[in-house]
Amino acid sequence: MENVIQDFISYLHNKKQTSQNTQTSYQRDLRKLAFFLETHGIKEFEEATQTNLNAFVLDMEKKDFASSTISRTIASVRALYHYLFQKHRIEDNPAEGLKPPRVEKKVPEILSVEEVDRLLKQPDLETLKGMRDKAMLEVLYATGMRVSELIHLQMSNVNLSMGYITCQENAKERIIPINQASRRALKQYLENAREFLIKDRETFSLFTNCSGHTMSRQGFWKMLKRYAKMAGIKRDITPHTLRHSFAAHLLQNGADIKSVQEMLGHSDISTTQVYLHLNTNKIRDVYMNAHPRK
């Protein structure tokens, strides 16, 4: 079954041009299915029936997997069997009837404007690393891009004079404006720090780690955690928290949802609409505090 998984992952990479993170998730989910099938005496994916796949889903539910995890796994299984059906390796698709559990959309965790301000003040601008970290944090909050997009930015993606960054993910491209604060931080980093951090003059990555290589997601995550602690932020934040905060703060200050959708790179506006609930909550709080009739 491992050979089938690798064939499918190659198909996703070469034909669908999915991200590395997506491919890793599919691989992990399908290996979970393969293990389940093997423990029930099924040696090939092609031998599995709809009953077998339903039993796999029930097994995950019994083991108290999160609904979001089960939904993602079902999507992986459906994608694999759609691939096998297209390749004429199965006559009927046993995954066609698989239905994901209802997943309640959680309200995203966001920082207040004051918390973001404290966070962005933490890097030490007297050091090379501090100038780099300041630029990365400012760009992340100014653009709302994903951390994977941030760490893979190239020098050619930045236009300081015009004030925008070109963000590329697979075959998709979007142009995001950047504010004065992020432009200043980037300018300082590019003029005073980057050339000392890179080890190879042929390196085109905008940001590198202290070894001169592209920073990993884990490296940035650890850096963010350290600065959050220094800023006195008690909550457990992630790089995505800044993305959520970017969107929520824009909408709270009057940005239209379509523009925010485009900047975030959401293909479906319903994904962006979750931030409107945060805006509604803010309006409700203002009303309850300001209205004379309590």
Structure tokens that stand for 156 in this block: 């050619």
pTM over 0.85: no
pLDDT at 253 over 50: yes
pLDDT digits (tens, 9 = 90+) for 168-200: 776 678 899 999 999 999 999 999 999 998 877
Helix, strand, coil percentages, rounded to 5, for the chain: 60, 5, 35
Is the CB of residue 102 less than 8 Å from the CB of residue 74? no
pLDDT digits (tens, 9 = 90+) for 116-161: 999 999 999 999 999 999 999 999 999 999 998 999 999 999 999 9
Domains, the chain, ranges and CATH? Answer: 2-86 (1.10.150.130), 113-288 (1.10.443.10)
Is the CB of residue 4 less than 8 Å from the CB of residue 45? yes
Distance CA(56)–CA(50), nearest Å, equals 10
Is the CB of residue 246 less than 8 Å from the CB of residue 109? no
Beta bridge partners of 288: none
Q: Which residues have CB under 8 Å from 81's CB, separation 6+?
A: 45, 90, 93, 94, 95, 96
Please calculate the CA angle 219-161-267 and round it to the nearest 5 degrees: 60
Structure tokens that stand for 70 in this block: 């089960």
Confidence of residue 112 (pLDDT cuts 50, 70, 90): very high
pLDDT digits (tens, 9 = 90+) for 60-84: 988 888 888 898 999 999 999 999 9
Counting every residue written for the chain, the total comes to 294
pLDDT at 21 over 90: no
Q: What single-letter amino acid sits at 12?
A: L
Average pLDDT for the chain = 88
Distance CA(97)–CA(88), nearest Å, equals 19
